[in-house]
């Protein structure tokens, strides 16, 4: 049940990001990172969401494979950190609401803290959780620009075909 709740919260959070974060980023951080079209960012958010569904689906289908549970808890904790950094931190720095903070604080943080507590009560060690979080976090952070590059290539080909 925890995995399904996690997917629900993540999906709502990613919808909020897909709708408003890229415009916020262009307005508040124009020189911090190359700004892509909103479609590229949406593709990236969709890619992260797909990775979450894949990891949770595999974990639910094969619960005896401990590495899949490590990936799941790494994803949960990475998204918990995502609520604080960047969303809360950017809201404080720029003194303007950063899209993703609301769903991060109201959905991801409460449920992910409960999932984390249940995981620790099952006997997972703090070091296992930290290592899982670091590995999944690095994969997620590196996948964002990768998904944006893929989106750019796909959409450029599509635009050429329409001409």
Is pLDDT of 15 > 90?
A: yes
Q: How far is Cα 48 from Cα 56, in angstroms, rounded to an integer? A: 12
Is pLDDT of 156 > 90?
A: no
What average pLDDT does this structure show over 85-109?
A: 95
Is pLDDT of 26 > 70?
A: yes
pLDDT at 35 (0 to 100): 55
Using left for φ > 0, alpha for ψ between -120 and 50, and beta otherwise, residue 3 falls in alpha
- Domain limits, the chain: 2-162
Q: How far is Cα 50 from Cα 56, in angstroms, rounded to an integer? A: 10
What are the residue ranges of helices labelled H in 29-125? 38-61, 66-82, 89-94, 101-103, 109-121
Residue 18: how many other CB atoms lie within 10 Å: 19
Q: How far is Cα 4 from Cα 14, in angstroms, rounded to an integer? A: 15
- SS3 string, 10-50, reads HHHHHHHHHHHHHHHHHHHCCCCCCCCCHHHHHHHHHHHHH
Cβ 112 vs Cβ 80: under 8 Å? yes
Establish how many alpha carbons lie within 13 A of residue 123's alpha carbon, considering only the half-sphere containing its beta carbon.
1
**pTM, rounded to two decimals:** 0.89
């Amino acid at each position: 049940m925890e995995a399904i709740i996690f997917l629900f919260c993540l999906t709502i959070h990613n919808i909020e990001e897909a709708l408003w974060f890229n415009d916020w980023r262009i307005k508040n951080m124009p020189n911090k990172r190359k700004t892509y079209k909103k479609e590229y960012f949406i593709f990236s958010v969709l890619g992260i969401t797909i990775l979450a569904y894949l990891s949770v689906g595999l974990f639910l289908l094969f619960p005896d494979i401990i590495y899949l549970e490590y990936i799941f808890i790494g994803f949960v904790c990475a998204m918990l950190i995502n609520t604080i950094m960047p969303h809360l931190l950017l809201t404080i720095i720029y003194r303007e609401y950063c899209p993703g903070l609301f769903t991060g604080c109201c959905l991801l943080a409460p449920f992910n803290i409960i999932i984390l507590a249940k995981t620790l009560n099952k006997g997972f060690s703090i070091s296992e959780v930290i290592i899982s979080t670091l590995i999944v976090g690095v994969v997620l952070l590196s996948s964002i620009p990768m998904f944006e590059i893929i989106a750019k290539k796909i959409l450029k080909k599509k635009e050429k075909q329409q001409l």
